[in-house]
Amino acid sequence: MVGFGRLSGLRGWVRKQRPQRALTATQRVTDVMTSNGDENGHAHERRMPSGRTLRVQPIGELPSARAASTGEANRIASVGELLPDLEALRALLEAHAALDVVRFRNEGVTSICDHSGRVTSGAIFFAVPGHEADGARFATEAVGRGAVAVVAERPLPVAVPCFVVPDVRRAAGAVAARFYGEPSTHLHVIGVTGTNGKTTVADLLRICLEDDGRPVGSLGTIEYRLGPKPDGREHVLPATNTTPGPIELQRLLRAMVDRGCKHAVIEVSSHALDQGRTDAVHFEAAVFTNLSRDHLDYHGTMEEYGRAKARLFSSLAPGKLAVVPADDSSALPIRDAIDPAHRVTTWALGSAHPDALPPHGTHVRGEVLRETTFGTRMRFVTRDGHVDVELPLIGTHNARNALAAMATAIALGVGPLRVGAAMARAKPVRGRLESVPGFERFRVLLDYAHTPDALEQVLKSLRPMTRGSLRVVFGCGGERDRGKRGKMGQIAATLADHVVVTHDNPRREDPRGILEEILAGISGLESSTALVDVCDDRRQAIWHALDSAEQLDTIVIAGKGHESGQLIGTTLHAFDDREVALEWLHR
């Protein structure tokens, strides 16, 4: 029998009347797009105004519907088969949102693109308004490269059809899903969202699914894993964004399907949710890690930030899985977004508030048995018993990450013993409390912590297991939430013995101004006894911390983690914290 204590700030589960769901764009477009075939309903060839010959597939017999009727439910349409021409594009966009079309004429479609430099003949170009530049400025270039249509948020002076929609990003997602054969309907897609821990949770979940014999791909902050190549090696690409743009996202999901993946684990950022990049993805499950201050330069308030995260859960279809912590009050916006028709799994490290437990569903409880500088021994308990795990990850925050992944895997049908075995073979994610090899007198760790909560969790985890001094090197990014700078300075000076404040991607902001804002937070502390140094060169700052280290010390180099560049102005300079530390070791 498991007992659960109370945790203030958590509300009980509220039964809500589920509203009538609107038809999806795909469902509506099936009604709109009637057969374009011959009088017998068969495919035929059509001559386009440009002179191209286009093979037309009757819409009423789309491959996805035809496959289901013939017992070939797993067949996916070939790329472009469901969006052969601009007539199909017009029907889809009319079903998706308000639409105005300027200069319409039908043309065959060969590709879709949101980057003018990658446009080829027959492409649809999406003029996405970006943070730095408006894609509408490049529409003429795209047409010059062969684009047969432009999708924009206002009429543009181009010589090809211009489809005007309220939101280009959301339109791009719907069109890309259609163009690539609705790949997420051929995968069990699990989305992981939260301020911290997404990468570790996603990686641990991927390992659990792989150990259960399930082919799985993943998309995240560090890399994109797309499944095996023909030679058997895994196809791995460096990540460009935590969550790719709407067109790239659908293209990568399609690549996973083509390589035999059955599951996809993707990190879903608040930016992606707010911009609708994942609107056309059919999620099997949504996982929440935590919510703390970050990205307020974009969202403005914590309330808006939380609402963005909650969109992943409110978008789940009935019967799909929601996984949330039952011991964390930051999960309140998420729990409010969960519908009674969803399956719910909760988890807690230690006690959970009884009201946080769903009336029907699974609960997984964990406890830390022992922590060392090399790993964590923990136990997780389900209704079927408990399993002890030697987790090769450091810190309580990683125990929570592991528990979120365990609870999700179990809810997806992976056995608890198999989950425990998978956890035991996990490795630290690159740049997440990653130990730099070769140091003997003291230990050097890299971590991606760049938010107040992440830095606090790392230092709190390392404090009790450090027999010497705890030293931290960190900075704050330029052109990002300024409000967290002083807070991070306070956290570092409160929990560490030696703080070296330096730069971390200052971008176009004055680097010294960033340092001053960090130091302003530290100067307000009265009880701190930490030694605080300032260095406006990150390489020298790391070397200074290593020069200062003594026997049994722990040095944390925080903020960049896996990153291999330092963004100063608009130039990305090669820079790797790990390599800098090793240069000191081998000097």
- Complete domains list, the chain, with CATH: 25-179 (3.40.1390.10), 183-424 (3.40.1190.10), 434-585 (3.90.190.20)
Cα→Cα distances 22→26, 148, 281, 308, Å: 11, 31, 16, 20
Residue 228 φ/ψ, nearest 5 degrees? -75, 140
Q: Quick one: DSSP state of residue 529? A: -
Order of strands, sheet of 470-474, starting from the edge strand that comes earlier in the sequence:
434-435, 443-447, 554-558, 470-474, 498-501, 531-534
- What are the pLDDT digits (tens) for 47-85? 444 444 433 333 333 333 333 333 455 689 999 999 999
Q: Which residues pair with 125 in a beta bridge?
A: 113, 150
Confidence of residue 98 (pLDDT cuts 50, 70, 90): confident
Task: Tell which wins on pLDDT, 27 or 498.
Answer: 498
pLDDT class of 360 with cuts at 50, 70, 90: low
Q: Express each pLDDT in 325-335 by its tens digit.
A: 999 988 988 98
| Residue 556 near residue 492 (C-beta atoms within 8 A) | no
- What are 229-286's pLDDT values in tens digits? 888 899 999 999 999 999 999 999 999 999 999 999 999 999 999 999 999 999 999 9
Long-range contacts of 92-95 (CB under 8 A, 24+ apart): 92/25, 92/29, 92/33, 92/174, 92/175, 92/178, 93/151, 93/163, 93/165, 93/171, 93/174, 93/175, 94/32, 95/25, 95/28, 95/29, 95/32
pLDDT of residue 97: 80
Non-local (6+) Cβ contacts of 127 within 8 A are 114, 134, 135, 136, 138, 139, 142, 150, 151, 152, 153, 156, 168
The 10s digit of each residue's pLDDT in 276-315 is 999 999 999 999 999 998 888 888 898 999 999 999 999 9
Average confidence score pLDDT of the chain: 87
